[in-house]
Structure 1
Amino acid sequence: MNVIKFGGSSLASGSQLKKVIQLVKEDAARKIVVVSAPGKRSAEDEKVTDLLIGFGMKALVGHDFSAVLEKIIDRYQNIAEELGLGTEIIDEIRSNLDSLVKGNKNEPNYYLDAFKASGEDNNAKLVAAYFNQEGVPARYMDPKEAGLMVTNEPGNAQVLPESYEQLAKLRDSEEVIIFPGFFGYTKDGKVCTFSRGGSDITGAILANGIQADLYENFTDVDAIFAANPHVVENPIGIKELTYREIRELSYGGFSVLHDEALQPAFKSGIPVQIKNTNNPSAPGTRIMKERQLTEQGVIGIASSSGFSSIYIDKYLMNREIGFGRKVLEILEARGISYEHMPSGIDNLTIILQTNQMTTEEEHSLLIQLKEELCADSVTVEHNIALIMIVGEGMREKMYTMSKAATALSENHINIDMINQGASEVSVIFGIQAKYEDLAVKALYEAFFVK
């Protein structure tokens, strides 16, 4: 029994839905279908979820929302008309959207989450109606009825462990289950969404709950590539990845999968297959607990920008007990998280996301660090990009660091920071953001071309 999830681009139009039903028909094991809200039909188009956020914001503050509401209805209606569905499903969707406006505005976060979740919820109802019309017995499944319970964290909900026992009952269904992604219900019955892109999370939760043989994630690319295809021309596709490798690559900017999505599947060791709805014959990429290592030690190169580095220097820092703890306490008190913290005997560098602080807050932080740590100097540098090389096989290969450093040096890119995780699955280089794309190209050339 497999769980199969379709992203927004796979459900953006009636013609796309015809591909979806064909894929479900081709494999009797595909019994649970997780759907996203309709995505973009073209680069200029709008995602239904974005429209719903605008709708919810206008409704919350009492502004006229009629234009955006009709845009949303039109998206579903266009799909329904293309598929030859009757007006009943559109009437049901309109009724649902009208009811959202009457929600409790005294809890704005929950109020808006109900709007965001309706994109997936209404699409699941439409997909179920289409499947039944085409002779595929299907049933829309409300996450509340299924027992998908989550924490009280609007926009960042986490699944509650007791959900899995309830979700296991879905194995007994003789119909194809059409399950809306992206949200669950709190214990007091409120809709709460996962972080954006959370339909991937729903798919993994269901795969864990029913102990699926495979979690198939259909999107609009043939595979996970070894580098960003918008930066590197025609990068190679990756056939197999481990959970650890995809986690590192997702952190480094790979957007094929939500970076939290694999945790429930990982816990149960369920393999994940990435496939292309528009080219299902392509082999795709399989993600698993372990893989056979090949001669290629580095399997992927990722990058991400928007970071700053805070450099703290103090003579005899290494002899001062509790110095690192004091640094972290200062950050924690300000609600600031850090990404990396490489250190020397007399200095320490904090890499963090720049958008966590205003200019004034940053200035205040630097003063506090210098005064409370009695540091010799505290300086900050902006516009940092993190470049990551990833691969389980790097542990077995000599000269990986030498090859990477040489590639960057030959392109006149200075390395401001190096951080290698204890697992040796990844190495991260901090560089000036203006060299981000050049660095990715240079490293790809070094590890995959030469």
Structure 2
Amino acid sequence: MNSMPKRVRIPLALLSLTALTAACGGSDGGSGSATEEVTVWMYPVIGDPKANADYWESLEKAYEKKYPDAKLTIEQQPWDNRDEKLATAFSGGKGPDVVVLQPDQIPQYLANDALAPVDGAIKADKDKFLPTALDSLTHDGKAYAAPIYHTITTTLYNKKLLDQAGIKKPPATWDDIKAAAPKLKAEGLATLDYSASNEATLNLNFYPLLWQAGGKIFSEDGKSAAFNDDKGVAALTFLTDLYEQGAIPKSTLTNVNVVADQALGKQQVAMGFTNSALDFGVAEKAWGKENVIVGAPLTGEKQAAFGVPGALGINADGNKEGAEQFINFMTQPDQIESLGQATGFLSPRTDVTVPTDSPYAKQLQDALSVVVPGESSPVARQLMGILAPEIQAAMTGKKSPQEALDAAAGQADDLLARQR
């Protein structure tokens, strides 16, 4: 899963070196004693390539000004194939000292003893992070990554299309969507955008619906799949019924969590349910700002939204002292605020609110109250490759929802058994 950062496209708010150098000290509380080079693998969390490069170059200078004996190298890496590249680097003893991680990556690296805890770097501020963010990065009582930003998704509506169908209130629940579908179909329009390509991340399509149905991906003990229970079947049946009625566009089968040049961007479908700040900007350009409505996360049996902390983890075989110092630096309020302004992401700290002039800031901030940052498992990434084609099979009528989910659950249980 890495589509969230791909969606960000916010103009750069240049880093304030004055603010950075005035920030709190490292884990030693002084001017710093980590003299060895610290290497960081960073990914393009700022959509504009030049802005991304400028930001991290400025941060290197700010860090080395604060810690004159340190040498910081931030290497830009592509999102594509990042798991494979990082796993290869770790296994070969050539990985970075610090790397950006998301919650569902951590178990697979812990299984190989590739990560060291970050508790020492954040011990003074541990109670200032969003509980859901830090909890998702914690295993056996130890934090294995420290949050530096937080993503969130929510609903996006096309007012013009809703008006065309005579729908005065944007659909906020599953029942609302079902009621709106015939009205929109009468106008030649689909209701709900969805990405069912095998390459699309399930964090931005099926999993949020599963959580809204009250379901879970894995059992409480993590030893078996749970998505094929009655709640999972309800979520997939919701999808298959809408697809069969034409309320989900046919192009969904090839969409990979993209808005531009897809049904939602082309004004062929009235709403999306896992959309980010980048998508709002794309919609404004395509539809006109007056037709963009951003709402609260959808509600099925419960309300839930996908969002994830982007966090910094430490290579167990790397420069741990230097890594802790850098992570302490990056998790201070000034850096959290600056990075948030540059990326458009939210703050993972409860005592920091990123300044923004976005008209959708409140909706995004409010959505954090129902955020689900995924479910951690060593097989989380592999499971997506198993489950996605089964969901397609159900949507196209080749299997019933129960048959499709049972087939995927059987393979998932086999994977989990091999982890024990």
In the superposition, the TM-score normalised over structure 2's length comes to 0.30
In the superposition, the TM-score normalised over structure 1's length comes to 0.28
Larger Rg: 1
